[in-house]
């Protein structure tokens, strides 16, 4: 079966319009601390502020200007902010968005807001913003901010084509956060219910039979209801680690002991089989030869609580 990398949606609403272009990296370093790490290009700078939980604005060292560069943090996906502000009390956003923004600010402040930015390729971008892993120096050691955000459950892990250096570490961190029920993975942290005790589970089929591009409906989400009572899920939604989401229409119910599927491609909806209508596959296949270690699927309820998930491969 051929490998296919998911087409990723834009990760945040901010863009780099009007901001400086990053200077070319002056040096390289090991992307990770462990033996066998690939080499990454390196930039340094000071953070001006963090507009949300996965974006920072940085005054880059050595570029000869005081202009700020909007940097999208590699490997993480925070819930979306609606109102951006330097003042925490003025911020508004999806459930977990403000908490992620605040935690990112704390981690940056612990390093004096001085950051090291790294990536395998200087050209990696999201909506014009450079994609970079971000680290701060604490007690003389560089600590990866994104990995910490994932491990503490403030953000989802998001694999990015061509920028695989940290994926194994982030995959482990995401599974650790999920197992411990931290932040996003606390299933009633936004608001209890509905059907809080139903035990819904989520499975994704990321690798369709044959070519994924030719068998879009072979990629699917399956929501299973093990309880003895049907669970209405109108207004709930599923997503991968990107921003796109499929929202269940009015009248959707997961039957007692039964399942509801969401197929990625086009088709005619039935009571238990829904069709997203996308034209490209979304899930990243596990492909060690091309450094792809997995991805995830997620089910959110009407309050924004993450109710079920599958971070794959499951270990």
- Partners of 222 in the beta sheet? 203, 261
Beta-carbon contacts of residue 274 (< 8 Å; ≥ 6 apart) = 246, 248, 249, 252, 260, 261, 262, 263
CATH of the domain at 146: 2.40.50.90
Structurally, the chain folds into a number of domains equal to: 2
Domain final position from 150, 185, 220:
185
Q: What pLDDT score does 6 carry? A: 36
Is 213 in the same domain as 245?
yes
What DSSP character marks residue 146? H
Hey, how many other C-beta atoms are within 10 angstroms of the C-beta on 197? 9
Domain final position from 185, 220, 255:
185
Asked whether residue 16 is domain-assigned, the answer is no
Domain final position from 126, 158, 185:
185
Is 157 in the same domain as 283?
no
Reduced to 3 DSSP states, what percent helix, strand and coil does the chain have, rounded to the nearest 5? 15, 35, 50
Asked whether residue 306 is domain-assigned, the answer is yes
Find out whether 91 and 84 touch, Cβ atoms under 8 Å. yes
Q: What pLDDT score does 272 carry? A: 98
Is 126 in the same domain as 214?
no
Asked whether residue 299 is domain-assigned, the answer is yes
Cα–Cα dist 60/117, whole Å: 10
Q: What pLDDT score does 23 carry? A: 53
In Å, what is the CA distance from 108 to each residue of 6, 140, 148, 206?
30, 15, 11, 35
Containing structural domain, residue 281: 201-312
Is 207 in the same domain as 151?
no
Asked whether residue 6 is domain-assigned, the answer is no
Is 83 in the same domain as 180?
yes
Give me the residue label for tokens 């995401």: 174
Is 174 in the same domain as 206?
no
* Tokens at 187, concatenated: 């299933």
Q: What pLDDT score does 3 carry? A: 36
Is 240 in the same domain as 300?
yes
Q: What pLDDT score does 314 carry? A: 83
Is 153 in the same domain as 95?
yes
pTM, to two decimals? 0.90
Asked whether residue 193 is domain-assigned, the answer is no
Cα–Cα dist 27/11, whole Å: 28
CATH of the domain at 280: 2.60.40.1260
Beta-carbon contacts of residue 255 (< 8 Å; ≥ 6 apart) = 225, 230, 272
Is 40 in the same domain as 102?
yes
- DSSP-assigned letters across all residues of 110-137: HTTTEEEEEES-TT-EETTEEEEEEEEE
Q: What angle do CA 200, 6, 13 make, to 5 degrees?
A: 85
Asked whether residue 4 is domain-assigned, the answer is no
Asked whether residue 8 is domain-assigned, the answer is no
Cα–Cα dist 72/68, whole Å: 13
The tens place of each residue's pLDDT in the chain, 315 residues long, gives 333 333 333 333 233 333 444 555 668 999 998 888 999 999 999 999 999 999 999 999 988 899 999 999 999 999 999 999 999 999 999 999 999 999 999 999 999 999 999 999 999 999 999 999 999 999 999 999 999 999 999 999 999 989 999 999 999 999 999 999 999 999 999 999 899 999 999 999 999 999 999 999 999 999 999 999 999 999 999 999 999 999 999 999 999 999 999 999 999 999 999 999 999 999 999 999 999 999 999 999 999 999 999 999 987
- Partners of 60 in the beta sheet? 45
Is 56 in the same domain as 162?
yes
Is 179 in the same domain as 250?
no
Hey, how many other C-beta atoms are within 10 angstroms of the C-beta on 296? 25
Asked whether residue 2 is domain-assigned, the answer is no
Is 180 in the same domain as 66?
yes
Q: Which of 267, 280, 64, 74 is nearest to 161 (CA)?
A: 74
């Amino acid at each position: 079966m051929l490998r296919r990398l998911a087409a990723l949606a834009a990760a945040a609403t901010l863009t780099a319009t009007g901001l400086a272009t990053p200077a070319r990296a002056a040096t390289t370093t090991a992307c990770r601390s462990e033996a066998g790490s690939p080499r990454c290009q390196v930039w340094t700078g000071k953070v001006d502020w963090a507009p949300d939980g996965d974006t920072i604005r940085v005054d880059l060292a050595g570029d000869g200007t005081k202009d700020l560069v909007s940097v999208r943090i590699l490997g993480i996906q925070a819930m979306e902010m609606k109102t951006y502000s330097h003042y925490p009390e003025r911020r508004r956003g999806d459930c977990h968005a403000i908490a992620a923004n605040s935690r990112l600010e704390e981690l940056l402040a612990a390093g004096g807001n001085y950051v090291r930015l790294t990536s395998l390729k200087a050209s990696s971008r999201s909506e014009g913003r450079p994609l970079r892993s971000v680290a701060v120096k604490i007690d003389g050691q560089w600590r990866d901010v994104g990995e910490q955000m994932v491990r503490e459950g403030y953000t989802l892990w998001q694999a990015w084509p061509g920028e695989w250096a940290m994926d194994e570490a982030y995959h482990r961190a995401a599974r650790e956060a999920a197992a411990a029920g931290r932040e996003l993975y606390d299933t009633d942290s936004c608001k209890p219910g509905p059907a809080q005790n139903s035990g819904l589970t989520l499975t994704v089929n990321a690798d369709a039979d044959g070519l994924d591009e030719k068998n879009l409906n072979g990629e699917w989400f399956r929501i299973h209801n093990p309880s003895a009572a049907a669970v209405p899920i109108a207004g709930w939604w599923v997503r991968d680690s990107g921003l796109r989401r499929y929202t269940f229409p009015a009248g959707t119910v997961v039957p007692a002991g039964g399942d509801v599927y969401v197929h990625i491609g086009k088709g005619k909806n039935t009571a238990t089989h829904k069709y997203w209508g996308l034209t490209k596959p979304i899930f990243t296949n596990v492909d060690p030869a091309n450094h792809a270690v997995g991805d995830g699927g997620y089910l959110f309820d009407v309050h924004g609580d993450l109710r079920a998930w599958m971070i794959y491969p499951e270990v």
